[in-house]
Amino acid sequence: MFQGWLQIALTIALFVALAPTFGGYMARVYLGHKTLLDPVLVPVERILYSLTGTETKEEMTGWKYARAILYSNVAMALLIFFLIMNQGWLPLNPTGLGAPTWDTALHTTISFITNTNQQHYSGETTLSYGSQMLGLGYHMFTSAATGLAVGIAFIRGLTGRPLGNFYVDLIRSITRILLPISIVGAVALILLGVPETLAGPVVVPTLENPALSQAIARGPVAHFEIIKQLGENGGGFFAINSAHPFENPNPATNLIQIVGMVVIPSAFIYTYGVFANSRRQAWLIYSMVLAIYLLFVTLTAIGEYQGNPAVNSLLGSVQPNLEGKEVRFGWAQSALFATTTTGTMCGAVNSLHDSFMPLGGFVLLSNLFLQIIWGGQGTGTAYLFAYLILAVFVTGLMVGRTPEFLGRKIEKREVVLASFLILLVHPIAILIPGAISLAFPETLSGISNPGFHGLSQVIYEYASAAANNGSGFEGLADSQPASTGLWWNLSTCFSLLCGRYIPIIALLLLADSLSRKQPVPMTVGTLRTDTFLFTGVTAGVVLILGALTFFPVLALGPIAEAFQIAKGG
């Protein structure tokens, strides 16, 4: 027990310690200040700007920034769809795989272009090396960089600066942040035992009967794995993701993966502090998110350590819940990984979320509903400040003070956009398709566990899609050739698109609106937002809004399941 909690504590301490260093580095990158990589990367970036015709000095409005994102994403989506549907005759296909069904290809395309990487297929038996490397791997960089670009544009607008240029932000996010760390990380993973090869599967005799043979899938995994984690992509090279010994062979690779998926969203809050010249407020907000994260990690770990009462009664002792977990990680690292991957919107898994105890299921769903613990790549910090804007408005009304943030008045337009983001888009993308699926449990949803757990499975799938997370509770017939595969592919596409592009547009419009406001001097009537009291109020607003919106689902899902298990049902 002590060892498990110590592992959790040391892992969290590591990424917290990295936040100011890495957050400061990202601030220098986006502010255009000098960095150690300039001599190598400045010439490369100039070539890229020239090839793409990017005017580096051009400042974009909110609408223009959004259009640039949409146009580029459509072009990239066409590329990945073409690669997947034509992989049968394209190179880098050692096992001769043909094209998947059109709806699986469409869902995969939309899933990866939106930085969700929700997978309704098994990677090693569905996609060629070429599709995985040139299609999915490419989009792991561009979709993550798009999220970073949106996040930094939002921070610029929040602090009264022009939003910047999307294409410049996209290129810098890849060349200065994602690519350098991925190169170092991939080398580290190779040294730790993760394969990186273009050779086909290895055919070996089985231990049970040497006359029989077994094909062991492998491939260019290491470089795919690091950007999967660092870019909060989450889509695995193999079907069982980071539970596979070729993706995540040992505790050292597991540590790299956990720190990789949380280091950027964690440090991005500090980046805001540099832009706003208010590191105090950044640390207060960071502490608020960290406190909720620690609470969620603790709840999940306690649930897994105490185990299943029904199993414990048979064993005659309290044993951790190891169902659906890899023994090399155990209850502690599985609980930490699951809480982190749903909190950061990464979606990678090193254990089966469907096998977690109800307390863990409650936490994982809550992370997907809130989207800010630590949130998506770049966009998570933007969501966090949308909550902050709502907290400023509500608190200002309650105490009779002027609703201002960073010297800019919070008025109707800002409140409408922030409320639209938090209270409307996300619930619609989850609850409407979820209700339709639950209304037809056999013909549409394909639920394997009827009752409270089945409801959690269905809602989790849509919450994962809408939050651009991509992980699954599993237990659903959501892949071809199941009769319900077509429904899951198409219905989750709705959640994927709504959860990605509508919020991005709203965030950019909100940032554009704030950037155009004239700053007003601080007076005795101004509400200070860099205090412990206001940070506590913000935490209350976050939890109350999230709980009120989705509490009925939580009550009918994991909470009801917990009571059922406690009763012996």
pLDDT along the chain (569 residues), means of 10: 88 94 95 90 91 87 95 94 94 92 94 93 91 92 95 94 94 95 96 94 86 89 95 91 94 95 95 92 94 96 90 83 91 95 93 92 94 88 88 80 78 82 86 90 74 90 93 78 81 94 92 85 72 89 83 92 82
Task: Establish if 429 belongs to a structural domain.
Answer: no
Of 201, 237, 204, 238, give the one whose Cα is nearest residue 217: 201
Which of 73-93 are b and which e, b meaning 16 or more Cβ less than 10 Å from the residue's Cβ? Answer: beebbeebbebbbebeebeeb
Looking at residue 63, what is its pLDDT? 94
Task: Establish if 381 belongs to a structural domain.
Answer: no
Task: Establish if 58 belongs to a structural domain.
Answer: yes
Are 401 and 526 in contact by the 8 Å Cβ rule? The answer is yes
Task: Establish if 405 belongs to a structural domain.
Answer: no
Are 100 and 84 in contact by the 8 Å Cβ rule? The answer is yes
CA distance 233 to 229: 6
Phi, psi at residue 15, to the nearest 5°? -75, -25
Nearby residues of 512 by Cβ (< 8 Å), 6 or more positions away: 61, 62, 63, 65, 157, 163
Of 5, 496, 424, 499, give the one whose Cα is nearest residue 235: 496
Task: Establish if 473 belongs to a structural domain.
Answer: no
Looking at residue 67, what is its pLDDT? 96
Task: Establish if 349 belongs to a structural domain.
Answer: no
Looking at residue 524, what is its pLDDT? 65
Per the structure, the count of domains in the chain is: 1
For 215: left if phi > 0, alpha if psi spans -120 to 50, otherwise beta; the answer is beta
Q: Angle at the Cα of 466 (from 372 to 73), degrees rounded to 5?
A: 100
**Tokens linked to 335:** 């609980």
Predicted structure pTM score: 0.94
**Rg, the chain, Cα only:** 23
Alpha helices in 424-531 (DSSP H): 426-439, 452-466, 485-515
End-to-end Cα separation, the chain, in angstroms: 28
Looking at residue 525, what is its pLDDT? 64
Task: Establish if 28 belongs to a structural domain.
Answer: yes
Are 111 and 470 in contact by the 8 Å Cβ rule? The answer is yes
**Tokens linked to 419:** 């409320």
Parent domain of 114:
20-202+217-276
Phi, psi at residue 404, to the nearest 5°? -130, 150
Are 430 and 495 in contact by the 8 Å Cβ rule? The answer is yes
Looking at residue 505, what is its pLDDT? 93
Looking at residue 530, what is its pLDDT? 83
Looking at residue 57, what is its pLDDT? 86
- Tokens 């051009």 correspond to what residue? 58
Looking at residue 501, what is its pLDDT? 94
Q: Are strands 213-216 and 404-405 parallel, antiparallel or unpaired?
A: unpaired
Nearby residues of 10 by Cβ (< 8 Å), 6 or more positions away: none
Of 152, 141, 150, give the one whose Cα is nearest residue 112: 141
Are 194 and 547 in contact by the 8 Å Cβ rule? The answer is no
Looking at residue 376, what is its pLDDT? 86
Are 387 and 419 in contact by the 8 Å Cβ rule? The answer is no
CA distance 209 to 518: 77
> What are the pLDDT digits (tens) for 110-168?
999 999 999 999 888 899 999 999 999 999 999 999 999 999 999 999 998 999 999 99
Q: Are strands 408-409 and 404-405 parallel, antiparallel or unpaired?
A: antiparallel
Task: Establish if 14 belongs to a structural domain.
Answer: no
Question: For residue 424, what is the DSSP state?
Answer: I
**Tokens linked to 60:** 């974009």
CA distance 77 to 236: 19
> What are the pLDDT digits (tens) for 265-298?
999 999 999 999 989 999 999 999 999 999 999 9
